[in-house]
Structure 1
Amino acid sequence: MKIIDVTTTVVNAEMRNWVFVKIATDQGLYGWGEATLEWKTRAVVGAIDDLKPILLGCDPRDIRQNVRALVKHGFWKVGAIGMTAISGLEHAMWDIFGKSVGLPVWRLLGGKVRDRVRIYTHLGLGDMRAVYGALEADRLADSAASLVALGYTAFKVVLSPYTHHTVTGEGLRLVETTMAALRRTVGDDVEIMLDFHGRPASAKAALQYVRAVEPFRPMFVEEPIQPGDVQSLAEIKRAAVCPIATGERLIGHDEFEPVIAARAVDIVQPDLNHCGGLLEAQAIAAAASVANIGVAPHNPNGPIAAAAALHFAVATPNHVIQEVMDKSVPWYDEVLVQTPVRREGAWWLLPDAPGMGIEVDEAAAARHPFEQEVFASLEAVMDDGTIVDW
């Protein structure tokens, strides 16, 4: 079996553009992957075009060897854009491999270690304003109640205001009041995850926010500080009572290893669209397992990313919970002919279709072409004009 073509389809999903990758073979089999990276859509598509000649003529089932060729092909490291492109290509190769042997991908990853997969969604589902907008306790509480009514028992919200190196009394009160309103609305049995989005510019600022929310038992606090500062992250983790998580912006096992070695978090969050694919995510999860660290993959992306996350979760022992962004736009299901993702309340059920189990309606996808994403991060400005982290 040989790869004869690699193509991409960009599908606008309002806050982001999904990048679907299709690999075709000389035996009629083809595979789908996803390489979505916000605000870098055209760069990722270009990277896939650049990488395509390396794969032409290769057997798509030689996944590890093909990925090594893609990663090591040039003098320069591939970075987030290149690794996102490679992740999408790797997903598509797994899809072909599964189809070629008539088995779902999770079987090829080692088989199931659970009977269903626990999930959580974003407050407001796909509404960016509900996730990143102003912190209004009553509005957010209403959104939380709506999610619980839909059967979800866990959700995530961005709760920290834009912050520089120190916090303000107003900011702390806002975080505490909002978290209290959410907990009061949903009760003690619904899990709330808090994404600080790397907004605090110092460990002390992050810890003050953590202290404000800890009485309300968050399941975990995500990205309390910008990625790369392992020492500060470890300081936050040691001082915190609630679990600390990070990893959505770390690329490959190499970038996760210092965090894992320092025991700087309780949960790692590789994004299967960016970290290098399923094989690389398995390596990250295995290293985390040795350090007694759980895995909760990041995934605010499209339907093929959801399928990849489902197969990974089924086969990963230290998987904790899976982020989902289902139905994030009205045409979420329109672009699909088939999906392996079946939700039953707060759970995803195990898929049984060969490969990833995804089939894309390419004509429907073409009706939602690329649109420029909103640069919401430009709103991250302090009163004096200082640009801070979004």
Structure 2
Amino acid sequence: MKITKIETLVCHARMRNWVFVKVVTDQPGLIGWGEATLEWHTRSIVGAIEDMSHLLIGEDPTRVEYLWQVMYRQHFWHGHGIVRATAIAGIDLALWDIVGKVANMPLSKVFGGPVRDWVRTYCHLGGGKMEDFYQTPADNAKRFAELAQQAVADGYTAFKSMAVPSTMPIEGMKPVRAAAAAVAAMRDAVGPDIDIMVDCHARPSPAMGLKFGKALDDFGLYFFEEPCWPEAVDGLAKINAALTTPVASGERVTNLEAFKDMFDKRAVEICQLDITHCGGLSAAKRIAALAEAHRIALAPHNPQGPVSTAASLEFGFSQPSYIICETVHNDVPWRQDVVEEGFIIEKQGRIVRPNTKPGLGITINEAEVRKHPFQQEIVLREFSPDGAVTDW
């Protein structure tokens, strides 16, 4: 069995271009699907996959670990930059999909069998619709409450919001009060038993992240996400130590060594590795083992396309420390048209039962993908009131 071709299919989904990776073999009908979506870097990803494909054509696709090492260590530069790590991830997912199909088993069984009967999921406010999730002003507490109630009406027992505004490195209490009012409105709207997450998007400095965290600590958040840059590991650890709310981070971390540093300093209680950015399932399994040794939970970052979701779920069924899966369902109205999925989502509670199909259990509808060709993504940018550049 040999790899004969590696293709990319780009599908424009408003804020993102989903980059699907198709690994073709010399066995009739045997292909693997992966995803390497990276916002605002679509052309770079497609080019990186093309560059790496020359290392893999003619190789056995079931030698996944060997091929991962080839992709990561050859071409001189190690593959932990965000573009290279994402490209590796897309190919790696497709290779594992092939392994599952050859074995005629879902990947969770390939990895040793499901460790749980179902996986809990959570949504973004607005179901991931850009205008609702990313562009609701933090001082619009009423709108946050409405969106929270809609998430619960859609069957979710947990949801994530971006209730923390962008700030300068040091500001007074006005933005902190706005964030607290938004979270208070959501808590009042949904009651004490629904889990609320707040995502800071790594916008605050460590000092401001700590201010926000302390102001929100009494609301019983499920987790407090990216309260400062993940590179500021010491600051992240200081925030985590000061709060009772668990701190979550890791979506922008792309290599095992950086995760080790984060875990050793107890900078997080929840690891949000992104399977499509950290090097794929091969790398994710190593990160998960390291997290388990530190008793750190897993809640992978997953706002991308449907192959990413399928991979995150297969990973969740195979990992004891996995607690919840991030999902989006309303980013584009035709999301389900491009994919056939093997797992079942129960509307009440939005829990997922195991996939029963081989590999990732998904099939991409290439004709539907072609209806949404590449377009430049909508650019989202942030500036401070004085015009200085800040984080989106």
What TM-score, normalized to structure 2?
0.97
2:312–2:325 contact (8 Å) kept in structure 1: yes
Aligned partners of 1:108, 1:46: CA distance in 2, in Å?
31
1:275–1:281 contact (8 Å) kept in structure 2: yes
2:129–2:330 contact (8 Å) kept in structure 1: no
Aligned partners of 1:247, 1:340: CA distance in 2, in Å?
28
- Check if 1:17 corresponds to 2:17: yes
Which moved further from structure 2: 322-331 or 28-37?
A: 322-331
Aligned partners of 1:291, 1:356: CA distance in 2, in Å?
28
Q: CA deviation at 1:326?
A: 2.6
Q: CA deviation at 1:254?
A: 1.7
* Match among 363, 367, 374 for residue 370 of structure 1: 374
- Check if 1:315 corresponds to 2:328: no
Aligned partners of 1:217, 1:322: CA distance in 2, in Å?
19
Q: CA deviation at 1:147?
A: 1.0
- Check if 1:144 corresponds to 2:151: no
Aligned partners of 2:143, 2:330: CA distance in 1, in Å?
21
- Check if 1:340 corresponds to 2:342: yes
* Aligned position for 1:177: 181
Tell me the alpha carbon deviations over residues 198-243 of structure 1, each in whole angstroms, 9 at most, x when there is no partner.
Answer: 1112x22111101111111110101010011111111111111110
Give the aligned residue type for 2:245.
C
Tell me the alpha carbon deviations over residues 306-341 of structure 1, each in whole angstroms, 9 at most, x when there is no partner.
Answer: 1001100000000011101134211111112x2123
- Check if 1:279 corresponds to 2:282: yes
* Aligned position for 2:91: 89
Aligned partners of 1:327, 1:61: CA distance in 2, in Å?
35
Aligned partners of 1:340, 1:91: CA distance in 2, in Å?
16
- Check if 1:187 corresponds to 2:188: no
* Match among 242, 267, 273 for residue 264 of structure 1: 267
SS in 1 for 2:336: coil
* Aligned position for 2:364: 360
Q: Which runs of 5+ in 2 are unaligned?
A: none
Q: CA deviation at 1:106?
A: 0.8
* Aligned position for 1:221: 224
Tell me the alpha carbon deviations over residues 46-98 of structure 1, each in whole angstroms, 9 at most, x when there is no partner.
Answer: 10000111110111110000010011112223311011011010110111111
- Check if 1:250 corresponds to 2:253: yes
* Aligned position for 2:4: 4
Give the aligned residue type for 2:26.
D
Tell me the alpha carbon deviations over residues 158-203 of structure 1, each in whole angstroms, 9 at most, x when there is no partner.
Answer: 11111121132211110111000000001111100110111112x2
SS in 2 for 1:334: helix
* Match among 196, 200, 203 for residue 199 of structure 1: 203
SS in 2 for 1:354: coil
2:342–2:356 contact (8 Å) kept in structure 1: yes
Aligned partners of 2:368, 2:187: CA distance in 1, in Å?
40
- Correspondence 1:49-198 to 2 at 5 A: 49-78=50-79, 79-133=81-135, 134-135=137-138, 136-198=140-202
Aligned partners of 2:235, 2:128: CA distance in 1, in Å?
32
1:156–1:193 contact (8 Å) kept in structure 2: yes
1:198–1:225 contact (8 Å) kept in structure 2: yes
Aligned partners of 2:92, 2:235: CA distance in 1, in Å?
33
What TM-score, normalized to structure 1?
0.97
1:120–1:322 contact (8 Å) kept in structure 2: yes
Give the aligned residue type for 1:57.
G
SS in 1 for 2:211: helix
1:327–1:333 contact (8 Å) kept in structure 2: no
Q: CA deviation at 1:126?
A: 2.3
Q: CA deviation at 1:292?
A: 1.1
Which moved further from structure 2: 67-76 or 294-303?
A: 67-76
Give the aligned residue type for 1:127.
K
Aligned partners of 1:331, 1:85: CA distance in 2, in Å?
25
1:299–1:324 contact (8 Å) kept in structure 2: yes
Aligned partners of 1:327, 1:20: CA distance in 2, in Å?
19
Give the aligned residue type for 1:6.
I
SS in 2 for 1:140: helix
Aligned partners of 2:115, 2:242: CA distance in 1, in Å?
33
1:167–1:208 contact (8 Å) kept in structure 2: no
- Correspondence 1:301-312 to 2 at 5 A: 301-312=304-315
Aligned partners of 1:71, 1:326: CA distance in 2, in Å?
32
* Aligned position for 2:298: 295
Q: Percent identity?
A: 42
SS in 1 for 2:197: strand
Tell me the alpha carbon deviations over residues 219-270 of structure 1, each in whole angstroms, 9 at most, x when there is no partner.
Answer: 0101010011111111111111110010000002122110011111101110
2:126–2:330 contact (8 Å) kept in structure 1: no
Aligned partners of 1:248, 1:90: CA distance in 2, in Å?
18
2:3–2:57 contact (8 Å) kept in structure 1: yes
Aligned partners of 2:194, 2:3: CA distance in 1, in Å?
46
